[in-house]
C-alpha cells in the first residue's frame, strides 16, 4: 500500500515551470536542445542582484538563503554572471524571490503563470528579464536536501536547490531544454537533476557569452588540458579552449535532408527572408517549412512569419538553426532547400 501511495505521489509531481511548452518529437541525432526565449530577453549587465522578500513556512531563513545561494552558484560557475544577495529592505534588486499561496501576485491576469494549487502540482514559476521574479508555492514542504517522500508527514519534501536552480534559468532568459539530462528539462523535478548539464551551459553562454575564470588558462592549454581535461577546462577556461558554443550541426529532417545547405551569417535583429522554389507555377504549390527538423505549423508574431512559399525570421539566438522548405506534389517531395542561419559575433563591450 505504501509503495502504491508513493507511486501516486510521484505521478502527481510536475515541474513548476511558467513557460509554455511545445510538443516535440526528436528525429535523428541532435546536439543542441536548449531553448532561449523567443525575443532574446536577457539581462544587460552581468552583476545581478537578488532579494528574498518572503520566506517559506517550512524552512528557516538561514537554510533558505543557503539553498538559493547554491542554486545561483550553479549558473555563475558556467557563465560570466555573478549573483549577490541584497538584504537591505530599502534596496532594489534585479530578481526578487518569494513564497506565496494560491492567487498571489500574478496568476489572475497571466495565462503562463497559473495560481498555485496547494500541495504538489505547480511548484514554482519565474518571469523573464527584465521583470526578474521567482515565485514558489508556500503550501509545499521545502527542504535543504534532495527531494523525498516523508512517510511520517505524508507529504513530498521538495528540494529547494533543484527547483530554484531550474527557475533561475528561466529568470535569466532560458526556456525548457529538450535534453532529458538538462537541469532546464521540464521533467527535471521527476528525475531529481540538480546539476548544470552541458546543454544548460550552451544555453546560458549563448545568451551571455563566456569567460575564462583562471589566469593560468594559457599554460594549461599548452600542456594539452583542452583535450585531456576537457570537463575541467570547459568550466575554467572555455574561451581559451574554444568551448564557449556548440558547433553548427545539421539536424535530420523528417526525410533525408538536402545536401545543398546554404550558411548565412547575419547580424542580430536583421530580418531574413526565404522563398521555397524559384520557378513560377500555375497553381500554388503545397509547401512545408521545418526548423531543425521540426515542422513550423504557424507564424509566431514578432519573430517568425510564414506565408505560403515565403518565410521571414528576425535573427536572434532563438531563431538560429537550419531552415528547410519542401514542395509537395501529389504526395511526393519535388523540391527541397535548406539554409543555416547563424548570428554574426558581436563586438565585446567595455562594460
Could you list the residues known to form a binding site for Zn(2+), using ranges.
104, 106, 125, 135, 166, 170, 176, 184
- Give the number of other Cβ atoms within 10 Å of residue 307's Cβ: 9
Spacing of C-alpha 71 from chain mean position: 15
Annotated binding site for Ca(2+): 94, 117-118, 137, 140
Separation in Å, CA 326 to CA 33, 115, 246, 295: 23, 42, 27, 11
Give CA–CA dist 121/170, Å, rounded: 19
Residue 102 φ then ψ, to 5°: 40, -130
Give CA–CA dist 163/137, Å, rounded: 11
Q: Cβ neighbours of residue 29 under 8 Å, at least 6 residues apart?
A: 251, 252
Separation in Å, CA 258 to CA 25, 309, 326: 20, 18, 10
224: region left, alpha or beta (phi > 0 left; psi from -120 to 50 alpha): left
160-171 helix and 61-76 helix, angle to the nearest 10 degrees? 50
Catalytic residue annotation: 167
Nearest residue to 133 via CA among 103, 160, 93:
93
| Residue keyed to cell 521545502 | 142
Give CA–CA dist 222/237, Å, rounded: 12
121: region left, alpha or beta (phi > 0 left; psi from -120 to 50 alpha): left
275 near 310, Cβ under 8 Å? yes
| Residue keyed to cell 562594460 | 351
Annotated binding site: 94, 104, 106, 117-118, 125, 135, 137, 140, 166, 170, 176, 184
Amino acid at each position: 500500500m505504501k509503495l502504491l501511495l508513493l507511486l501516486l505521489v510521484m505521478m502527481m509531481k510536475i515541474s513548476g515551470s511558467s513557460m509554455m511548452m511545445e510538443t516535440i518529437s526528436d528525429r535523428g541525432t541532435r546536439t543542441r536542445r536548449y531553448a532561449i526565449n523567443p525575443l532574446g530577453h536577457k539581462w544587460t549587465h552581468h552583476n545581478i542582484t537578488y532579494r528574498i522578500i518572503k520566506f517559506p513556512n517550512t524552512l528557516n531563513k538561514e537554510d533558505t538563503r543557503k539553498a538559493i545561494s547554491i542554486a545561483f552558484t550553479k549558473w555563475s560557475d558556467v557563465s560570466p554572471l555573478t549573483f549577490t544577495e541584497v538584504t537591505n529592505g530599502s534596496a532594489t534588486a534585479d530578481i526578487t524571490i518569494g513564497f506565496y499561496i494560491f492567487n498571489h501576485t500574478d496568476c489572475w491576469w497571466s495565462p503562463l503563470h497559473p495560481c498555485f494549487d496547494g500541495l504538489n502540482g505547480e511548484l514554482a514559476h519565474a518571469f523573464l528579464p527584465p521583470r526578474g521574479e521567482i515565485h514558489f508555492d508556500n503550501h509545499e514542504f521545502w527542504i535543504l536536501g534532495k527531494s523525498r517522500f516523508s512517510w511520517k508527514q505524508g507529504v513530498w519534501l521538495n528540494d529547494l536547490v533543484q527547483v530554484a536552480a531550474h527557475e533561475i534559468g528561466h529568470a535569466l532568459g532560458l526556456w525548457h531544454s529538450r535534453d532529458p539530462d538538462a537541469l532546464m528539462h521540464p521533467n527535471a523535478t521527476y528525475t531529481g537533476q540538480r546539476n548544470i548539464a552541458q546543454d544548460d551551459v550552451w544555453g546560458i553562454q549563448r545568451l551571455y557569452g563566456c569567460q575564462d575564470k583562471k589566469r593560468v588558462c594559457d599554460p594549461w592549454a599548452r600542456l594539452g588540458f583542452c583535450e585531456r581535461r576537457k570537463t575541467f577546462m570547459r568550466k575554467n577556461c572555455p574561451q581559451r579552449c574554444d568551448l564557449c558554443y556548440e558547433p553548427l550541426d545539421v539536424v535530420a529532417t523528417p526525410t533525408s535532408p538536402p545536401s545543398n545547405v546554404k550558411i548565412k551569417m547575419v547580424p542580430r535583429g536583421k530580418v531574413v527572408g526565404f522563398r521555397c522554389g524559384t520557378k513560377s507555377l500555375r497553381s500554388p504549390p503545397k509547401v512545408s517549412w521545418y526548423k531543425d527538423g521540426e515542422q513550423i505549423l504557424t507564424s509566431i508574431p514578432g519573430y517568425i512569419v510564414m506565408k505560403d512559399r515565403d518565410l521571414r525570421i528576425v535573427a536572434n539566438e532563438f531563431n538560429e538553426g537550419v531552415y528547410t522548405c519542401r514542395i509537395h506534389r501529389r504526395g511526393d517531395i519535388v523540391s527541397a532547400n535548406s539554409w543555416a542561419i547563424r548570428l554574426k559575433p558581436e563586438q565585446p563591450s567595455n562594460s
